[in-house]
Structure 1
Amino acid sequence: MMPTRRTTLGLAVAGLAAPALVQAQGSAWRPSRPLRLIVPFAPGGSNDIVGRIIAEPAGQILGQAIVIENRAGAGSVIGSEAAARAPADGYTLLINSAHAAVPAVVARMPYNAVTDFEGVAVAGFSPHTLVVTPRFEARTAAEMVSLVRANPGRFNLATAGIGSSVHIAGLVLTNRMNLQTEPVHYRGGGPAVAALVAGESQIGTPTMASSLGQIRGGGVRALAVLAEQRSPALPDVPSATEAGIPGVVLEEFFPITAPKGTPPEIIAALGAAFRQAIQQSSARLTELAGVAPREGFDTNAKVMTLVREGVEDYTRILRAAGVQPE
């Protein structure tokens, strides 16, 4: 998701405060048993990778382990609903980069992405990529566009599930470039990238976190980073503008949330711990996932404002592209 917040889907506002360890320890609330961090996608995707990077240091700060629970299905709706319905006691958290995107494409939501959650922290921001299976004929984004236009419906487009940010990135690509592809919805970013490696699908718009290792290792070939500028994590891959697909720009962000009604003192303790863990892990987040933390999301209200604006932006962009919720 990009360079400005309202002119693109980049949400380029700020995102990371770094309170000292003593602040988390000095909070009135301390967990007495392990916590769970729900990842509403299969293992190997961007949320799973980012969640595992920050869960260990956050757990050390809180004094209890944070266990990753993968609950994939329905483009993150199943896991997110489980989080929304969990007891509001601080022991269940959710990390979901599709949290603001799902309401724009799913007509009947079993929860409200804004009013059913409290904001804890934002792990960072990361652009999507345009990748193809290694045996794909086109070597550049412009060649890919020409090839797909000449063969409508011939090529599969891998997504991480209906309503995922990967799905929406694919919709932006096909609508802006006037392409006809066959979408194939997998149970997360990891399975979608695996399908591209295997040649089961030919084109994808995965998150950088879920595709970075395969891009570097040659499992998939990157044609562009879906941002206005090149990414330091992939300095040899052209930006969308350089690649000849201007406007195909999409950046995801990783909100960490808790069920609505979680007491303020618990949200404050969790937020302090996670922000410190994010700061401590910033180098790993950038190197392993292409995720860049940003300052500014140091309160519940600021995190949820980002989510609300994300819902508005996704809805506006997709409606302008002619995409309606299903």
Structure 2
Amino acid sequence: MSHSPQLEANAVLQKSSTLRSFAAALLGLGLAAAPAAAQSDFPTRQITLVIPFAAGGSTDLVGRVIANKMGEELGQQIVVENRGGAGGNLGAAAVAKADPDGYTILMGTVATHALNPALYKSMPYNAETSFAPISLLVSVPNVLTVNPQFGPKTIAELIEKLKKEPGEYSYASSGNGSPLHLSGELFKSLAGVDIVHIPYKGSGPALIDVVGGQVPIQFDNLPSSTEYIKTGKLIGLAVTTKERSPQFPDMPTMEEAGVKGYETYSWNALFAPAGTPKEVVAKLNEAANKAIADPKVKEQLAVFSATTVGSTPEELGEHVKAELAKWAPIVKASGAQID
């Protein structure tokens, strides 16, 4: 049976159209599979961990220990980059604006994700929506220290000296609006003393001046001051948590030392830019939680008096919400605000 030329032409056209559709579908599948494959292979190169404070402080010390172990877990090096300034806002903003691919992550803190939104009139990021939470890592006590040449050896002696000479002495912190600044302001309020705040760009530079005697008093995270206390270069008068530190069982809490109602502490957590694929976040979360569960890492962090926590991304997101709600009224009551 013969076919008309028109029918044969239509058949050829239909076959050609079907082949084009099939090819387009294959191409679409290939394009869709490409990013998925890239995500499943993550990481294929080194990762940058931005620490939004100067080197030598508590966040820096904790971050380097965890970054080293996470790099082993992921099979790629994690390079630490210190970007201090604006109470942590500069480094945090840099990560918020980075490509959401998991290769730039942030060591966030109570400052970057709870205090700064209440302190700064203008923020370069949103603590909740600009980031993809990865994992809560550690909680860290704060400590009140003095230079050994200053005189006081207890909180009671310090308060007595400060009340005798109001406004004559100063205390150092890691920066305006930092948890340590607010620790100092809370101490002033509850102890009824007048001391002048001197902000630094991180705990490291502040420690240098306090150890050197340029500033007599400091509020610091316990990890960065630990070695100075152990070697006698600083005297630790009290920790700021409800319970004593296992590293310094003889050091009283602020409440035990007579400053009723006093409690502050810091925490560290990992964040990626918002929009980072869930598969990538999951890999980073798994590596982070494995890192802080490692006995050697726990041992290293314990030296700094940092307690490991660990969490899911969702739990960290809820933690940030709770911390924002907790600190906003405290910051308001302190009267601290930064332009």
* 2:295 matches 1:283: no
Q: Distance in 2 between matches of 1:30 and 1:249?
A: 41
Q: Which residue of 66, 76, 98 corresponds with 1:86? A: 98
Q: CA deviation at 1:282?
A: 1.4
Letter in 2 for 1:285: L
Ranges in structure 2 where 5+ consecutive residues have no aligned partner: 1-38
Q: Distance in 2 between matches of 1:79 and 1:243?
A: 36
Where do 4+ consecutive residues of structure 1 move more than 4 Å?
none
Q: Secondary structure at the match of 1:248?
A: coil
> What is aligned with 1:271?
285
Given that 2:177 and 2:338 are in contact with CA atoms closer than 8 Å, whether structure 1 keeps it comes out as no
> What is aligned with 2:184?
170
Letter in 2 for 1:62: L
Letter in 2 for 1:193: L
Q: Which residue of 210, 221, 227 corresponds with 2:235? A: 221
Given that 2:115 and 2:331 are in contact with CA atoms closer than 8 Å, whether structure 1 keeps it comes out as no
Q: CA deviation at 1:325?
A: 5.1
Task: Name the structure with the higher helix share.
Answer: 2
> What is aligned with 2:173?
159
> What is aligned with 2:84?
72
Q: Secondary structure at the match of 2:180?
A: helix
Q: Secondary structure at the match of 1:32?
A: coil
Ranges in structure 1 where 5+ consecutive residues have no aligned partner: 1-26
> What is aligned with 2:321?
308
Q: Distance in 2 between matches of 1:197 and 1:96?
A: 27
Q: Distance in 2 between matches of 1:208 and 1:49?
A: 11
Q: Secondary structure at the match of 1:190?
A: helix
Given that 2:177 and 2:337 are in contact with CA atoms closer than 8 Å, whether structure 1 keeps it comes out as no
> What is aligned with 1:233?
247
Letter in 2 for 1:170: G
Q: Secondary structure at the match of 2:255?
A: helix
- Deviation sequence 1:100-132 (CA, Å, 0-9, x none): 222222221111112111111112111100111
Between 131-140 and 58-67, the greater mean CA deviation after superposition: 131-140
* 2:307 matches 1:292: yes
Q: Which residue of 232, 245, 248 corresponds with 2:259? A: 245
How many residue pairs match? The answer is 297
> What is aligned with 1:104?
118
Percent identity, aligned pairs only, is: 35
Given that 1:54 and 1:277 are in contact with CA atoms closer than 8 Å, whether structure 2 keeps it comes out as yes
Given that 1:29 and 1:266 are in contact with CA atoms closer than 8 Å, whether structure 2 keeps it comes out as no
Q: Secondary structure at the match of 2:135?
A: strand
- Deviation sequence 1:218-263 (CA, Å, 0-9, x none): 1111100111221101111111122111222111110111111111
- For the pair shown, the structure with the greater C-alpha radius of gyration is 2
Q: Secondary structure at the match of 1:81?
A: helix
Q: Distance in 2 between matches of 1:44 and 1:68?
A: 12
- Give the 5 Å matches for 1:14-163: 28-97=40-109, 98-99=111-112, 100-163=114-177
Q: CA deviation at 1:167?
A: 1.4
- Identify the structure with bigger relative contact order (alpha carbons < 8 Å, sequence gap 6+): 1
Q: Secondary structure at the match of 1:101?
A: helix
Given that 2:57 and 2:202 are in contact with CA atoms closer than 8 Å, whether structure 1 keeps it comes out as yes
> What is aligned with 2:10?
none
Q: Secondary structure at the match of 1:122?
A: strand
Q: CA deviation at 1:29?
A: 4.4
